């Protein structure tokens, strides 16, 4: 078992803001870690490249040659030769910056109730002045029909001038529930948006894990063709940090550089993100990162099925949501760190298992064994 130096026990989280400096947790060499996909540093190829280029002198703010090279590779991977590409730092920041750039003050963004912007960004969208107009999700996804109905209902409402106008649509691929939009679903959403001249924006925080999924039929060029803006996630897909915003039609968001700066999202040493994306989009690394995680997740899904575990819902990407009896969950929690998802009833709970680019075969083997014992 590799050296696992740290975790944040559930009990600690309760004190986050009061006590940022909670007692460091003990080393637990004997535990498995499947609670999230951002627990390690970066893919080794990225660190190596940062090291190689470290003492080179480059311009700041993303004007360096590595950022330019990364942009070229991303355009190529997206089959979007004219696209504007910008590198930001993290997901919440990226969502807040893009959404604020695309909306007028009286407009809101349509999102699923389970969307990241609806739930876990401390109201960053509202801080920028905009309402998140939530619709009930279907396996974590927005249905094009629901969006259409929402728009029709807005337009038919005699009081609509007193209401927030739907101004864009936010989706995530994979969703926060690990589910996937099919190409047909995304095309439908896109056509509804275009029929109403409304931007479609896709949050790809975990995009690598969607792209590598056997049942996925949405490619990067599809995303670039169907969306007006999207971001390719770095932080959760092998980078130290960084998200690549792609705007397929160049100039679609005028002055986006200044908007990024105003939102505090501009890296002075822009190359730190540029180099990482340059590596991620070289030699198929972004694909490989996804594949490692999906292979691991599929092995775990098979083991869960074999041992009679019940999945809370079908999620084909790197996140697995398993319904456990509470005593079973407690027993497992001693062996493996998973993430709490939700309470079902007095006797059952849903836990999340996440794999990543960094999940090793021996970790999966060990977890398969534990799952067999705990079934």
Told to check if 45 binds a copy of itself by CB under 8 A, we report: no
Which CB, 314 or 360, lies closer to a copy of itself?
360
Task: Report which secondary-structure segment, H or E, holds 372.
Answer: helix 361-374
Strands 132-135 and 107-112: parallel
Q: Does 160 bind a copy of itself (CB under 8 A)?
A: yes
Q: Say whether residue 121 binds a copy of itself (CB under 8 A).
A: yes
Residues in 264-303 that interact with a copy of itself by CB under 8 A: 264-269, 271-272
Q: Is 261 in the site for a copy of itself (CB under 8 A)?
A: yes
**Number of residues near a copy of itself (by CB under 8 A):** 113
Options 73, 77, 80, 97; binder of a copy of itself; rule CB under 8 A: 97
Looking at 57-143, list the stretches that DSSP marks H as alpha helix, in order from N- to C-terminal side: 65-78, 91-102, 116-119, 124-127
Residue numbers 303-332 binding a copy of itself by CB under 8 A = none
* Range in contact with a copy of itself (rule: CB under 8 A) among 142-150, 263-271, 300-308, 320-328: 263-271
Q: Which is nearer to a copy of itself, 97 or 317 (CB)?
A: 97
Nearer to a copy of itself, 156 or 308 (CB): 156
The residue whose two tokens read 């398993």 is 322
The helix (H) or strand (E) run that includes residue 224 is helix 220-226
For a copy of itself, the closer of residues 153 and 182 by Cβ is 153
CB-count burial class (<10 Å; 0-12, 13-18, 19+) for 55: exposed
166 to 205: interface string for a copy of itself, x by CB under 8 A: ----------------------------------------
- Residues 77, 78, 89, 300: which binds a copy of itself (CB under 8 A)? 89
Indicate the residue among 114 and 216 with the shorter CB distance to a copy of itself. 114
Provide the minimum distance between the beta carbon of 151 and a copy of itself in the complex, in angstroms, as a whole number: 13
Q: With contact defined as beta carbons under 8 Å apart, do 279 and 45 qualify?
A: yes
Taking CB under 8 A as the criterion, the residue among 53, 139, 219, 298 binding a copy of itself is: 53
Residue 308 backbone dihedrals phi, psi, to 5 degrees: 80, 15
Q: Is 101 in the site for a copy of itself (CB under 8 A)?
A: yes
- The residue count of the chain comes to 375
Cα–Cα dist 110/104, whole Å: 14
Q: Which residues contact 48 (CB under 8 A, 6 or more apart)?
A: none
Q: To the nearest whole angstrom, how small is the minimum distance from the Cβ of residue 305 to a copy of itself?
A: 27
Q: CA 262, CA 360: separation in Å to the nearest integer? A: 40
The stretch among 124-132, 281-289, 326-334, 346-354 that binds a copy of itself (CB under 8 A) is: 124-132
Sequence-distant (≥ 6) Cβ neighbours of residue 145 within 8 angstroms: none
Measured between alpha carbons, how far is 42 from 61 in angstroms, rounded to an integer? 22
For residue 290, give the nearest of 310, 317, 253, 254 by alpha carbon.
317
Q: Which is nearer to a copy of itself, 215 or 365 (CB)?
A: 365
DSSP string, 297-344: HHHHHHHHHHTT-EESS---SSEEEEEEEHHHHHHHHHHEE-EEEEE-
Tell me: does residue 47 bind a copy of itself (CB under 8 A). Answer: yes
Binding-residue pattern over the window 2 to 31 for a copy of itself, x denoting contact by CB under 8 A:
xxxxxxxxx-xxxxxxxxxxx-xx------
């Amino acid at each position: 078992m590799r050296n696992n130096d740290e975790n944040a026990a559930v009990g600690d989280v309760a004190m986050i803001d009061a006590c940022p400096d909670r007692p460091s947790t003990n080393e637990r060499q004997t535990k498995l870690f499947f609670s999230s996909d951002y627990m390690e540093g970066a893919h080794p190829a990225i660190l190596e490249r940062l090291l190689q280029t470290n003492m080179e002198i480059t311009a700041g703010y993303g004007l360096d040659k590595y950022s330019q090279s990364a942009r070229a590779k991303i355009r190529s991977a997206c089959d979007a030769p004219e696209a504007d590409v910008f590198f930001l730092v993290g997901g919440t920041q990226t969502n807040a910056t893009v959404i604020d750039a695309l909306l007028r003050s009286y407009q809101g963004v349509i999102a699923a109730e389970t969307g990241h912007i609806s739930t876990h960004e401390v109201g960053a969208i509202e801080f920028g002045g905009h309402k998140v107009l939530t619709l009930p999700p279907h396996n974590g996804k927005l249905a094009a029909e629901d969006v259409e109905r929402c728009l029709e209902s807005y337009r038919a409402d005699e009081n609509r001038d007193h209401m927030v106008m739907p101004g864009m649509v936010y989706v995530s691929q994979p969703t926060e529930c690990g589910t996937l939009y099919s190409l047909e679903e995304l095309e439908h959403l896109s056509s509804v948006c275009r029929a109403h001249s409304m931007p479609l924006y896709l949050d790809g925080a975990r995009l690598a894990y969607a792209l590598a999924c056997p049942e996925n039929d949405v490619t990067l060029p599809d995303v670039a063709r169907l969306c007006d803006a999207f971001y390719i996630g770095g932080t959760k897909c092998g980078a130290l940090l960084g998200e690549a915003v792609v705007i397929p039609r160049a100039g679609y968001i005028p002055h986006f550089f200044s908007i990024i700066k105003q939102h505090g999202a501009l890296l002075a040493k822009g190359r730190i993100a540029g180099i990482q994306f340059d590596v991620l989009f070289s030699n198929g690394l972004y694909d490989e990162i996804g594949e490692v995680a999906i292979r691991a997740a599929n092995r775990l899904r098979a083991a869960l099925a074999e041992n009679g575990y019940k999945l809370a819902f079908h999620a084909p990407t790197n996140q697995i949501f398993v319904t456990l009896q509470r005593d079973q969950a407690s027993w497992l929690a001693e062996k493996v760190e998973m993430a709490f998802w939700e309470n079902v009833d007095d006797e059952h709970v849903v836990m999340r298992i996440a794999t990543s680019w960094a999940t090793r075969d021996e970790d999966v083997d060990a977890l398969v064994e534990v799952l067999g014992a705990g079934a």
